[in-house]
């Protein structure tokens, strides 16, 4: 029975009748829910087709081992800052540590959590743009997100970026409506606090949320939620204030040119970010295209009301990502979802033939750049850039040339696990530092 046929009936209910209009509305709601669920399922499948292969074949990043092993230390009862050095805010070791306890310790398992977080962000983005602008612009926005080199390369591995982006984007979705209730702003504050607990630089987005809450008259609700969200960080601060401040702040001032410095290096990073340098040119051209789309969208009359908040978040995060020294291109991966949302109003023009053709050509170039980015991430060098696959498929040469081995990457990765059985786990033989803490050595950005 179709939707039209359902409306034609009067449904008996005891001695009375329910008007057919109610049946029609219920049927329309059910069909709408099914269409939305089907669209979300397709969006998840498209993202998974991109993220899962990249996650499995991407070379092992230098920071991943430290983050993964910090998670293992947390599972075994070690406390960040007090028992071992950890330069980020404290959420990642416990989230990834709990995941490893459920799934077992392996590169595939730990990266799978990052993939799931990336899928969550992309699905939220797709649903938001679909509800605000339409299905076709939402599909284009999803493509801009999923094939971004910054997203593929850094949201699918063990980094703080995917863990910080999911709650931050959720906070944006709760707070972006003008007439949002106090509960929504409290939830936005809670999620924003958790994002700061994952990566400290996210605190730069707080002023954008504060402005929106002031306009909506929900400042107290936002502040209450933010305070609760920051409680994990406050707990570690109270446990050892000196170690907490050294690991998360002072260490960054000591390791290079201070908190903010080496402006020549920052200029080079900015040039790389927009494709002017040969290093990471594919990802830079993609980022440049997103900036162009946002600039074009800003000229539209409804940009401020629909996308101004997302652009303010992107701008604040981008400005904060320039400050640390050294500045890496990967820091700007958390900006990508908000740039995509900021350009969503422009994507509405995809239905028009001239504008749609221009957007289609731009998307083709964007996708071609993604191919080069994937090739760069999956290039295999057993010594300098070992991948999970090379670790399993690598061969060690023997006189006969036929003897197979585990590969250098996997052998090196297993050494700490083998030598820490039966005693407190550490990435290597612990280097005792101030206060008897264990230094992980070379914690990444």
Model confidence pLDDT, tens digit, residues 86-108: 999 999 999 999 999 999 888 89
Query: Nearest Cα to 87, choosing from 57, 66, 113?
Result: 66
Per mean pLDDT, which of 64-78, 341-355, 393-407 is the most reliable? 64-78
Query: Nearest Cα to 445, choosing from 333, 281, 280, 283?
Result: 333
pLDDT band of 439, cuts 50, 70, 90: low
The predicted structure's pLDDT at residue 423: 36
The predicted structure's pLDDT at residue 419: 43
Alpha carbon distance, N-terminus to C-terminus of the chain: 58
The predicted structure's pLDDT at residue 83: 93
Q: Which one is predicted more confidently, 14 or 272?
A: 272
What does DSSP assign to residue 114?
Answer: H
Range in 19-23, 299-303, 341-345, 434-438 the model is least confident about: 434-438
Range in 32-46, 156-170, 200-214, 228-242 the model is least confident about: 32-46
The predicted structure's pLDDT at residue 275: 83
pLDDT band of 382, cuts 50, 70, 90: low
**Percent of the chain having pLDDT more than 70?**
75
Q: Is the pLDDT of residue 21 over 70?
A: no
What lies within 8 Å, CB to CB, of 430 at 6+ separation is 424, 438, 439
pTM: 0.82
The predicted structure's pLDDT at residue 295: 87
Measure CA 253 to chain center.
Answer: 26
Q: Which residue has 């209450």 as its token pair?
A: 224
pLDDT band of 389, cuts 50, 70, 90: low
Please check whether residue 339 is in contact with residue 290, taking contact to mean a CB–CB distance below 8 angstroms: yes
Q: Which one is predicted more confidently, 406 or 214?
A: 214
Q: Is the pLDDT of residue 428 over 60?
A: no
The predicted structure's pLDDT at residue 398: 36
Q: Is the pLDDT of residue 417 over 80?
A: no
pLDDT band of 19, cuts 50, 70, 90: low
CA distance 160 to 331: 10
The predicted structure's pLDDT at residue 29: 66
What lies within 8 Å, CB to CB, of 360 at 6+ separation is 350
Residue 423 backbone phi and psi in degrees, to 5? -150, 175
The predicted structure's pLDDT at residue 409: 43
Q: Which one is predicted more confidently, 380 or 236?
A: 236
**Percent of the chain having pLDDT more than 90?**
47
Average pLDDT, the chain: 81
Please check whether residue 359 is in contact with residue 347, taking contact to mean a CB–CB distance below 8 angstroms: yes
Q: Is the pLDDT of residue 22 over 70?
A: no
Q: Is the pLDDT of residue 56 over 60?
A: yes
CA distance 222 to 175: 9
What does DSSP assign to residue 387?
Answer: B
DSSP H helical segments within 323-352, as ranges? 336-342, 344-347
Please check whether residue 388 is in contact with residue 52, taking contact to mean a CB–CB distance below 8 angstroms: no
Q: Is the pLDDT of residue 69 over 60?
A: yes
Side-chain half-sphere exposure of 26, counting CA atoms within 13 A: 9
Please check whether residue 233 is in contact with residue 199, taking contact to mean a CB–CB distance below 8 angstroms: no
The predicted structure's pLDDT at residue 84: 92
The predicted structure's pLDDT at residue 226: 97
Query: Which tokens is 273 given?
Result: 């970010």
The predicted structure's pLDDT at residue 257: 59
What lies within 8 Å, CB to CB, of 100 at 6+ separation is 68, 71, 72, 75, 109, 110
Alpha-carbon distance values, 133 to 170, 300, 343 (Å)? 18, 14, 11
Query: Nearest Cα to 223, choosing from 251, 266, 186, 174?
Result: 186
Residue 328 backbone phi and psi in degrees, to 5? -115, 150
The predicted structure's pLDDT at residue 376: 84
Please check whether residue 306 is in contact with residue 345, taking contact to mean a CB–CB distance below 8 angstroms: yes
Please check whether residue 286 is in contact with residue 373, taking contact to mean a CB–CB distance below 8 angstroms: yes
Q: Could you give the 3-state DSSP secondary structure of residue 11?
A: strand
Q: Is the pLDDT of residue 184 over 80?
A: yes
The predicted structure's pLDDT at residue 426: 39
Residue 49 backbone phi and psi in degrees, to 5? -65, -25
Q: Residue-wise over 59-71: b if at least 16 C-beta within 10 A, else e?
A: bbbebbbbbbbbb
Please check whether residue 69 is in contact with residue 162, taking contact to mean a CB–CB distance below 8 angstroms: no
The predicted structure's pLDDT at residue 71: 94
Please check whether residue 158 is in contact with residue 68, taking contact to mean a CB–CB distance below 8 angstroms: yes
36-46 mean pLDDT = 93
Query: Which tokens is 127 given?
Result: 């649903």
Please check whether residue 166 is in contact with residue 121, taking contact to mean a CB–CB distance below 8 angstroms: yes
Q: Is the pLDDT of residue 413 over 60?
A: no
């Amino acid at each position: 029975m179709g939707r039209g046929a359902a409306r034609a009936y009067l449904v008996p209910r005891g001695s009375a009748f329910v008007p057919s209009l109610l049946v029609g509305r219920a049927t329309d709601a059910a069909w709408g829910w099914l269409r939305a669920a089907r669209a979300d399922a397709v969006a998840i499948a498209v993202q998974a087709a991109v993220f899962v292969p990249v996650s499995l074949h991407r070379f092992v990043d230098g920071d991943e081992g430290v983050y993964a092993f910090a998670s293992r230390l947390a599972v075994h009862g070690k406390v960040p800052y007090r028992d071992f050095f950890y330069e980020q805010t404290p959420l990642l070791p416990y989230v990834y540590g709990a995941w490893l306890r459920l799934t077992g310790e392996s590169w595939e398992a730990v990266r799978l959590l990052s993939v799931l977080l990336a899928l969550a962000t992309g699905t939220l983005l797709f649903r938001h743009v679909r509800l605000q602008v339409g299905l076709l612009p939402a599909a284009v926005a999803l493509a801009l997100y999923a094939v971004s080199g910054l997203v593929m390369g850094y949201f699918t591995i063990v980094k703080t970026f995917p863990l910080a982006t999911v709650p931050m984007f959720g906070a944006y979705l709760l707070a972006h409506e003008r007439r949002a209730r106090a509960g929504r702003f409290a939830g936005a504050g809670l999620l924003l606090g958790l994002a700061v607990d994952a990566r400290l630089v996210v605190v730069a987005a707080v002023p954008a949320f504060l402005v929106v809450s002031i306009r909506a008259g929900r400042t107290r609700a936002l502040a209450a939620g933010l305070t609760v969200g920051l409680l994990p960080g406050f707990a570690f601060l109270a446990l050892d204030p000196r170690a907490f401040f050294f690991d998360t702040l002072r260490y960054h001032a000591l390791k290079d040119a201070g908190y903010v410095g080496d402006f020549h290096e920052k200029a080079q990073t900015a040039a790389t970010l927009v494709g002017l340098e040969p290093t990471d040119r594919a990802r830079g051209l993609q980022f440049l295209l997103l900036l162009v789309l946002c600039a074009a969208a800003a000229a539209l009359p409804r940009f401020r009301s629909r996308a101004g908040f997302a652009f303010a978040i992107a701008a604040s995060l981008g400005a904060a990502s320039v400050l640390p020294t050294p500045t890496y291109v990967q820091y700007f991966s958390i900006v990508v979802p908000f740039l995509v949302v900021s350009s969503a109003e422009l994507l509405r023009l995809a239905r028009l033939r001239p504008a749609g053709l221009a957007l289609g050509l731009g998307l083709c170039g964007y996708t071609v750049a993604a191919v080069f980015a994937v090739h760069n991430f999956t290039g295999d060098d057993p010594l300098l850039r070992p991948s999970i696959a090379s670790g399993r498929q690598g061969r060690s040469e023997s006189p006969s040339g036929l003897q197979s081995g585990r590969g250098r990457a996997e052998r090196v990765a297993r050494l700490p696990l083998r030598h820490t059985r039966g005693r407190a786990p550490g990435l290597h033989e612990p280097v005792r530092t101030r206060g008897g803490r264990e230094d992980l050595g070379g914690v990444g950005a």
